[in-house]
Amino acid sequence: MIAFDDLLALVRNYNPGTDAALLRRAWDYGEAMHQGQTRHSGEPYFTHPVAVAAILTEMRLDDATIVTALLHDTIEDTRSTYAEVARKFGEEIAELVDGVTKLTNLQLSSSEAKQAENFRKLLIAMSRDLRVILVKLADRLHNMRTIRSMHPDKQAQKARETMDIYAPLAGRMGMQWMREELEDLAFRVLNPEARNSILRRFITLQREAGDVVHRITNDIRTELDHAGIEASVYGRAKKPFSVWRKMQDKELAFSRLSDIYGFRVIVGDVAECYQVLGLIHQRWRAVPGRFKDYISQPKTNGYRSIHTTVSGRDGKRVEIQIRTREMHEVAEAGVAAHWAYKDGERTANPFAVDPAKWISTLTERLDTAEDHDTFLEHVKLEMYSDQVFCFTPKGDVVQLPRGATPLDFAYAIHTRIGDSCVSAKVDGLRVPLWTRLKNGQSVDVITAEGQRPQGTWMDIVVTGRAKAAIRRSLRIEDRERFMRLGAELARVAFENVGRKVSDKALATAAKALGIPGGRDEILARLGAAEMSARAVVEVLYPELATQTGDLVDARRPVIGLGADQSFRRAACCQPLPGERIVGITYRGKGVVAHAIDCAALADYEDQSERWIDLRWHEGRHAAVHPVTLELTISNDAGVLGRICSLIGEQKANISDLSFVDRKPDFYRLLVEAELRDVEHLHRVMTALEAENDVAQIARHRDPSRRP
């Protein structure tokens, strides 16, 4: 553990006016509170808060943040209280310590519902004071540096949480150095073999090619010296995890991987940035499509730099970043640059982003997420996004995450524009809506009145805003469609028992079934196959719904079962009375009846002891046997309603309906109908096949649904 004087020297190095007495009081208080406590490694616990404080000095942060680091575990792990910290160190520091304590208690790797709620709390803490997150990130960084002393299961959990949440959050905040170190430390735990293989390949490469970084750095310095430009030049090989991710994303072997080296040129002003860019492109060949100008179009976290990839010495691709010293400070500290000291003073860095403005861009629209999955999806999209900048026809800039499409662009302008988008022009040329946009492109969205979002759009867009708007529109449209379908299902079910459906009858059924929303909700549930029309009829007319006549017992409709054997139909082939069947015994599942031509029976050819000779009871069976039909129908008004009516007229109940494919002229759908026997099936299929709007009909069997 470093001594207090060493920590004080680290702070005074960038802030000579630091309140040494305040730091001393915080040190003494934290050390006293943690007296007798040890870490998993056996070291005194107070070594951890001191190490966290030291990490924060690298970001040149203010006294309040350094003190918070020294005290960040006192309220959680000692007898200290919020009131005592506030009395000794003031409300500002007490609020920060309490905020870090609450973040520490969040279980970000828990179930999705819990995780979503905890993400909300994390974002709330960030919005109150971003320094809470800076302390938490430094806390996680030191814990990852010392993770080897933890139990292996705990190591894996912390490493996965770091990789999924804290590393991308650090990157989103602009602290790329911290993101890279967190990723690499987590990579060491989660996949040590892969990391070691990358390191071994780097060693082999250096042995074969020599010190490439040193040679290319000297080449760049030589060009700058000839031009009379004073600059700092740094080079390094990229981190193992960065190389591994690139290998996985591009499906390339290490030997085929380019730009595994990165170089940084830091100059005095913006004009020199572009002058250096020109020199580098004159000296080396630029790689097409690998140029990014984040000076003219900064990232939302304040990051500014020019990125270019060139074919350097020996044809090796290298990435070069060019920026000013002030831009470099923001690139290193990210959003934390707002609090950073320079030359002993809290001077405003013109490139540092306002934390309040930055957090609003991160949390924008997240509160509109309607469920846990949507919220988590939005958060992770925002945290992982790298940006491209496109232009409207009027020249306005629209910032989008990498991989965004013209649809994302349309929704970024306005939800109404997105909903009515039919096509787009990129740089004057009409392109498909799934085209991935690139930096600097001009996008002209073409709309049409009456256009509505399509379900396939969910696979095209990448932004949280677009996904939320499409889901909302589809949900409204689906509800209306489900209500229309539900009304038809209810009509048929009521007519089957000699009754006429009415709004009052449906409202009464909804009340009896405890369904809030009355008639509309019960129709929507019927159409969505969340409940059956039979259940509605039974709750109103139980004596009619149960009039089955002389029916075969639906619980044991076959002959050949033992007294203690249970029975069910195989979902893969859905056999019906009238078809030849074979029983297969399953441990814990009883006997499952397969049709004699079911492909699944081939799996049991050498297990004859499991085969049972079954046959259906003679007599009239109840229409309770679901069979799935695959139909291709015209996409015209009223067709689906007529299909449902035809099935109902054959005294069959529709228990489920789902669309498999939607085209402008045809729909392909799966309809599950409850039938009596194979003859009943033939009548239903014949009636449907005779309908002009039915292009194809077939019995659908799904081998993946084997027992």
**Residues catalogued as catalytic:** 76-77
Q: How far apart are CA 552 and CA 619, in angstroms?
A: 6
68 closest CA partner among 48, 41, 84, 89:
89
Read off φ and ψ for residue 354, nearest 5 degrees: -70, 120
| Crossing angle of helices 325-333 and 176-190, rounded to 10° | 40
User: What does DSSP assign to residue 551?
Assistant: B
Distance of CA 331 to the CA centre of its chain: 26
Q: Count CA within 13 A, CB hemisphere, residue 126.
A: 25
| Crossing angle of helices 63-71 and 20-33, rounded to 10° | 10
8 A C-beta contact, residue 554 and residue 578: no
Task: Name the region of 590 (left: φ>0; alpha: ψ -120 to 50; beta: rest).
Answer: left
Q: Kindly state the tokens that stand for 411.
A: 């929704």
8 A C-beta contact, residue 393 and residue 444: yes
CB neighbourhood size of 442 (10 A): 14
Between the alpha carbon of residue 4 and those of residues 50, 57, 340, 566, the distances in Å are 9, 13, 21, 75
Strands 581-586 and 611-616: antiparallel
Strands 317-324 and 261-267: parallel
Q: How far apart are CA 654 and CA 534, in angstroms?
A: 10
DSSP3 helix / strand / coil % (the chain, rounded to 5): 50, 15, 30
Residues 6+ apart with CB under 8 A from 111: none
Angle, CA 37 vertex, CA 32 and CA 41 arms, to 5°: 135
Q: How far apart are CA 525 and CA 506, in angstroms?
A: 12
Strands 653-662 and 666-675: antiparallel
307 closest CA partner among 334, 327, 335, 337:
327
Q: Kindly state the tokens that stand for 109.
A: 């790797």
Q: How far apart are CA 104 and CA 289, in angstroms?
A: 42
Alpha-carbon torsion (472, 477, 479, 482), positive or negative: negative
Q: How far apart are CA 679 and CA 466, in angstroms?
A: 49
User: What does DSSP assign to residue 433?
Assistant: T
8 A C-beta contact, residue 245 and residue 301: no
- Residue 295 three-state SS: coil
Q: Kindly state the tokens that stand for 261.
A: 């080296």
450 closest CA partner among 415, 477, 420:
420
| Crossing angle of helices 533-540 and 518-527, rounded to 10° | 140
8 A C-beta contact, residue 684 and residue 650: yes
Q: How far apart are CA 223 and CA 229, in angstroms?
A: 9
Residues 6+ apart with CB under 8 A from 597: 573
Length of the chain measured in residues: 707
Amino acid at 120: R
